[in-house]
Every structure is written in structure tokens, then in C-alpha cells.
Amino acid sequence: MHAPDHRYRSSYISRRPPVTPRLSVVVPFYNVGEYIGDCLDSIARQTWTDFEAILVDDGSPDDSAVIAKEFCIQDSRFRIVQQDNAGLGPARNTGVRHASGEYLTFVDSDDLVTRHGFEKLIRSLDRTGSDFAGGNARRFNNSSGVRPSWLHRQPFMRDRFATHVTEVTDLVLDRMVWNKVYRRSFWEERGYEFPAIRYEDYPVTLQAHLDAVTVDTIAAPVYYWRERESGESITQQKFQLGNLRDRVISAGMVMDLAEKALPAVRSRLHAHFTQIDLLTLMMAFGAVPAGEEEQLVELASELLTRLDPAALQRAHRYDRIQHAALRAGDVDLLRRLAIFREDGGLRGGARVLPRRRKVYDFNYPGLLEGVVPQDLYRVAEQDLTLATSVRSVTWADGKLSVQGTAEVRHLQTCTSSSLRIDLVIAGVPYPLQVRRFDATDLHGENSRVGFEVVLDEELLGRCTAGPAHFDVRMKLGRLRRQDKLRGQGPGSPGWPPGAWLGESWIQPGPGKDGCFAIRRLHDPSRLTAIEHTPDALVLHGRSSFDEPSLFVTRPVAGGEEKVPIKVDGRDFTAWLPIRPILDETNPDDPFSQRTTRAFRLRGPAGEEKLLLWTAGDRAISHAERGRVITMTRSTGGYVNLHESPIRFAATSVVAAGNKLVARGPDWGDVTFAWRRFLPESDDHIDVPCRRSFSDDGWSAAADLDALTAVGDRVSERRVSVDPLASLADWILFAIAPDGSAHAVQCEPFLCSRLPLVVESSAHTLAVRPHAGTLHAEVR
């Protein structure tokens, strides 16, 4: 519990450094024994070494303090302050009072910082003189790997120096304090203090944005933000009245700050609260316990009445139905609307009644009379946009097959609809023959949204190095919609395989604007074969220019090293020693502990090309001393070298009879299980696999019936109805004898062959990668 009085008692485990450091890192912690060691290790590994780390023990009842004290003993830059439990905000305030550096930053004790994060931010501040600098963030957990943080995507989408929230209103969305470095003089001059509530970041962060003369934004990730293994979906969150109350209090404080801000800033802020925080409160009605409904109505109404009517009017029409139900205090309707939305009804179950005017009203009194909401849901015609996806990319007999879906959002796709797809090469459209079939649509139902187009050798030969895209046109009655083919899903769409066409390499993949595209690379510089010796990887390739030199680069850290090569005309052989790579243990990714290297060929005139992978359909790996290096391909088809701790990787997955069998190289004593995490929890259920060995490595076989029994096992562990009873997400885990576990990686060449779809009478199972880990989704 948060103590009302956050006076602190302090004790130091190590002395303050004799020279004042340039950076003070404040790390409050409470009950994070499982994570704090990794957090502090990521701080200790920083390329920016001139720092002090102030570890604030907020009365933690577990062994977190023991781990923290060990760091203090081993590294004089770390010291600990102890206080009675007061909460995250007051603990941060305590850390600030003990800070002495020129700069100030905050790290949450279950998160990680990238190795170059502090240095990038401080170098930027030294150059610009801004009051603070912020960088991009990533979300991560063990089961799903590392993904971009959607909350940070817009504020930190590009590098900006000496800017301000009044110039870039997207900075209003910057809610967190921890992905930044502040000038301590700026912080102390303004007297910032964190309130003793949850969501304590936002009031301080927005105030700093408003007070600053200028700020810097860095597009590179500087911070890794942990999420629970079960995910972060709003619809999976348990109802917690205290949590929601703090959220409303924080929102009120932020809106108070914005009252005197420029109209554009205030408008962007109110739109954000409408889209995120108010929606969270609306969805909470789907899980509110009996007896607490009226308190939730009061909280949600408090936020609703503070929001700008213009922002509410611009909200989605379904949102506006929920707002109207809240104003009327109709708890039963609010609950039904939340459940209807959670079950996917908003995406497609609602019967849409489009008209030719831009704005439609809904008949709210009809809803109060018990009319089913989907009968009254209307959308504006401009909301009826074309939605496309790419679900499979395969080669057969020199032809490229692309399968996907195309539909108009909110509308049922009837069999009388028409679909035209052109491949646009250098501005010239080439009509394709379209095969249509039933597939799962945005409603979660089967309808005529699936399509396949096949590109033959003649058409592929017309492609150029400039990406050719697919133009999609759909006609539904009198409604016509057009857009580029987008929505590359996991599996082969995300790791599309390339192939030779004469002297050219055809590579599908993302275009510059994110659409799905085709590139034809004539005589590319490429890797043709790899030899694995005990001491080195021997690379064989061909350059597209004379007298090439080969360089290995680290895209994240920067810098390059020249690789010795032997050249015979345009053919080359290069030797890459293994030991120096294994000896360098300064990973770029603080979670996976992985470092990625890329390869470039450079000519005498300065011409330069990335090295394309054409060396077969299997990666080459070498494991030694608990670490592994792997030569493989990137999503774009280029050569990558990964170095990391050993993480088991699957190189194939097949359905054999009633078994789902995964295989990969054998690197140690582990067992395997398909694991499913329960919503809003790190608790899980496992389906064990039978492990066997062969010369090729390990195999792990699981019963398909056990994976497709979606709700049975979950109901044993939960009292309430499982909201995911129609969808189960299983992740393959490797479990060590000591109980530690990690998600099995999905090797890139396996990614290019997925998804694997297995149909049964009652369920569909699809094996596909997510953020580099292997998942089996059951519907």
C-alpha cells in the first residue's frame, strides 16, 4: 500500500563517487527480484560510463534489495537509498534528492536500457543545449520477443533537434518519464515532483514539455519497456477500481496543465484522452463487479465531462453510443456495449447502414428501449475504407503466388462484389487474374474476402529495381474503393522468399510506404555459399563490380570492420574468425543480448551494395561457451550475422498425423512445451512435448488435440468465463533443468515457409512467427 507520508530513511551501500558524474540514474524498486538484476546489468553495460545509479529501495519485501546491494558492492557507480514503502512517484522524488549529476534520467526496475541509449541522448543535449531529450522505446517479454511501442511511434518517429510541443503536437502523446535525459538544473529550477498515484508520469512529462525552451527527439530505441507475458490488450485487463481512479486523477492533472496551452496542443491532448483513457473506462464496464458499477459510472463521467465536446464529437460513432449510455447512467447497456466491442462486434458484427451524407446520428432512446445496438450502428461513408492483407507468399515452378484478403471495413463482402488487382511497374498497370475464395474477414467470419494472384516469369521480368506495387480495386454495389496492397502478416509475408529469374533476383517485400512490393535486382552482389570450419565461417560470393572490399557493420552501434577477402575477378572468398565475435560481449539488444552485423561490398570508386543472401534455405550456426553465432538472412533478403546467448531455434514445423512436430539444432539439456499465458497474468498452462534426438538435432512433438482443446484447460484455472475461448495463442518454450525457460526462436528461413495451417472438424490451428518467436494460434 502507498503510505500517505513518504518521508524516507536512507542508508548507503557504497560511497558517492569522488568526482561528480555527468549523469544521475534514478532506479526505484519494489518487489522486482525476478527482473532487477537484468535492469541494473543493462545500466552497467552502457557505453556512457560517467554516471551514478541511485537505487531507491521502496520498502521492497522480496530479495530485490539483496540483488541491488550486490551491484553496489561490485560497482562503485551504484549506491542504494532505502525508505519505507511510499509508491513509485515518491521513490523517484527520493532518488532526485540524492542526485548530483549534470543530467538526470529515470529507469523502472523491471525495464532495460539500450547500450547506447544514454550516450545518444546526452550527445544530443550537448550539441543542441535543449532542456531534455527523449528517445524511442520497444515493448518486450519472453513469449513474444521485442516489438515497437505503439505509444512512442508518433512522438519519436524521427530525429528532431531543438523542437517543442507547440511545433510538434504529437509530443503531447509522450506520457512516460523514463525514455529521457533531463538537465538537472532544468528539473530543479522547475521543482518537479511526482504525485503519489499511479500514472504519475504524465503530469510531470507534459509539464516539462510545456516548460522547456526546446527538446530533442531521437528515433532510435533507447529504452525497453517490459509487458506481462499475457499481453497488454485493454480487453484483457482486470477491473481494478483503484487503478482507474488514479488514471482519472492523472488525466485531470494533465488537462489542468493544458488549459493555458495553445489550442492545437489542448485539442491533441483531449483527442488522445478520448481515444485511449476514456475508451479504457468504457471497456471496464465489461468486467466491473456487481456493487461497483456506480463508482465506475462516477469515475467515467468525471473524465467525460472534462473532455472537449469537439473531441468527443470527432470520436468513432460506436464510442459516441457508449458516451451517450454513460451520460444516461445505463450500466446494463454500458456492459453490453463493452462486451459487444470486446467480442469483435465493432469490427464487423454491426449492421452498417451507409448513406450519401457525411455524418449520421444514432437513435439513442431506441437503445435505452433495449434495441440491439448493432441494428443502430451507422458509420460515415468515408469510414468505409478498403482493408487488405497479405497472408502467404510462395514460389512454384518459377511463378510467384501472393494470397491475401481484400474487403471494405464494416461491410459484409458478398459474392456479387468484384475485385481487380493490377501490378503497377514504373507507373504502368498490368491486370492480374484474380482467384477469389472464402477466408476469415474482419468480422471473424468466413466470407468471399480471400484472393490469390500469380505472377509468371514474363511479368516478373518486366519489374525493375524500383519497387512495383499492387493496386487493389473493389466494387460493392455502387460503392467503389481503391488502395495499394498492404498488411503483411507474420510468416512468409513478413519474411518473403526471393528467387532467381535468369540473371536477376526477384525479391518481394515492403515498399517505401509500407505497401507490398516486388523488386528485380539485376546481377546483385550476393553470398553464394558458406563453409563452417571449427575456427571460422568462410564466405563465398560474387560482387556486381570489380575489385570489391568487404566490410562488416553494426547497424545499431555504428562503425565497421574490414574483412580479409581473396578476389578472383568478381568472385570472392572471405574468412570470418569465430573467436573474436564470441569474445565481444557488448550486445546491442538488452533483452535478447543479441548483436546484429550486416555486410557491405565496396568498390574502388566508392560504389557500395549490401550483400544479398542467395546461399540456400538454411542458416549456419556455431554454438560455443553458452553463446551462438548464426549467419542468416534479414527480412529484406540480405546477409545478417547474429551473436547472442544460446536460445533454441526451430528450423522446421510439420503436422504429422495427430502430432505437431518442431525441429531444430540441439544445444543443450532442455524439455519443450507449448505454453499459453492467462489474460492479465504471468500464470500459464503447458502442453508438454515428447522430445527426441537425431543427427539433425532435437524434435518436439505435441498432440494436436491437446492444443485445440481451447477452453477446457483454461476453465480449470479460472472462475470467470474465458474471454479468449474462441482464440488460443500457444508459444513453444524450451525449459532448462533449473526451471528457467525461454521462447523458442523461429529461424528466418522457417518464417519464410510459414504459416502452417492445420484444419480439423472443430478448430483451425495456424503456426506462425511473432516478433521472432514461434506461436500456434487456435480458432
**What would the pLDDT profile of 387-399 be if each residue is shown by its tens digit?**
999 999 999 999 9
When mean pLDDT is compared across 13-27, 260-274, 754-768, the lowest value belongs to 13-27
Given a cut of 70, whether residue 17 has pLDDT beyond it is: no
**Tens-place pLDDT, residues 120-140:** 999 999 999 999 999 999 999
Confidence grade of residue 722 (pLDDT, cut at 50, 70, 90): very low
Which of 328, 232, 198, 341 is CA-nearest to residue 282?
341
More confident residue, 721 or 610: 610
pLDDT, position 20: 86
Confidence grade of residue 444 (pLDDT, cut at 50, 70, 90): confident
Average pLDDT of the chain to the nearest whole number: 87
Given a cut of 60, whether residue 64 has pLDDT beyond it is: yes
The percentage of residues in the chain with a pLDDT greater than 70, rounded to a whole number, is 89
**3 state DSSP class of 100:** coil
| DSSP type of residue 345 | I
- Is CATH 2.60.40 correct for 526-644? yes
CATH homologous superfamily of 23-226: Spore Coat Polysaccharide Biosynthesis Protein SpsA; Chain A (3.90.550.10)
Whole-Å CA distances, 317 to 210, 298, 343, 362: 32, 22, 17, 8
Whole-Å CA distances, 525 to 95, 417, 457, 555, 602: 53, 45, 22, 19, 10
pLDDT, position 229: 74
**Tens-place pLDDT, residues 564-581:** 999 999 999 999 999 998
Confidence grade of residue 680 (pLDDT, cut at 50, 70, 90): low
Domain ranges of the chain: 23-226, 234-382, 386-512, 526-644, 649-778
When mean pLDDT is compared across 143-152, 250-259, 414-423, 477-486, the lowest value belongs to 143-152
Given a cut of 50, whether residue 347 has pLDDT beyond it is: no
- The count of C-alpha atoms lying within 13 angstroms of the C-alpha of 57, restricted to the half-sphere facing its C-beta, is 24
pLDDT, position 513: 84
pLDDT, position 372: 38
Confidence grade of residue 377 (pLDDT, cut at 50, 70, 90): low
Confidence grade of residue 230 (pLDDT, cut at 50, 70, 90): low
The percentage of residues in the chain with a pLDDT greater than 90, rounded to a whole number, is 71
**3 state DSSP class of 68:** helix
d(CA 589, CA 577) in angstroms, rounded, equals: 22
Please check whether the two domains, 23-226 and 386-512, share a CATH topology: no
Global pTM value: 0.83
CATH class for the region spanning 386-512? mainly beta
- Read off the pLDDT of each residue in 519-546 and give the average, rounded to a whole number: 95
pLDDT, position 239: 65
When mean pLDDT is compared across 360-364, 666-670, 703-707, the lowest value belongs to 360-364
When mean pLDDT is compared across 22-26, 312-316, 676-680, 731-735, the lowest value belongs to 676-680
pLDDT, position 547: 93
pLDDT, position 329: 92
When mean pLDDT is compared across 178-192, 501-515, 708-722, the lowest value belongs to 708-722
| DSSP type of residue 488 | B
Please, are residues 691 and 731 in contact by the beta-carbon 8 Å criterion?
A: no
Point out which residues pair with 765 in neighbouring strands. Answer: 758, 778
Confidence grade of residue 236 (pLDDT, cut at 50, 70, 90): very low
d(CA 653, CA 673) in angstroms, rounded, equals: 14
Give the residue ranges of DSSP H helices in 503-647.
579-583
Contacts of 583 (CB under 8 A, 6+ apart): none
Q: Is the dihedral of CA 321, 326, 327, 332 positive or negative?
A: positive
**3 state DSSP class of 591:** coil
When mean pLDDT is compared across 2-11, 409-418, 456-465, the lowest value belongs to 2-11
Give the amino acid at 484.
K
pLDDT, position 587: 84
pLDDT, position 378: 60
- Read off the pLDDT of each residue in 270-283 and give the average, rounded to a whole number: 94
pLDDT, position 574: 96
When mean pLDDT is compared across 207-221, 242-256, 683-697, the lowest value belongs to 683-697
Given a cut of 80, whether residue 72 has pLDDT beyond it is: yes
Q: Interior CA angle at 26 toward 23 and 31, to 5°?
A: 155
pLDDT, position 375: 43
Given a cut of 50, whether residue 376 has pLDDT beyond it is: no
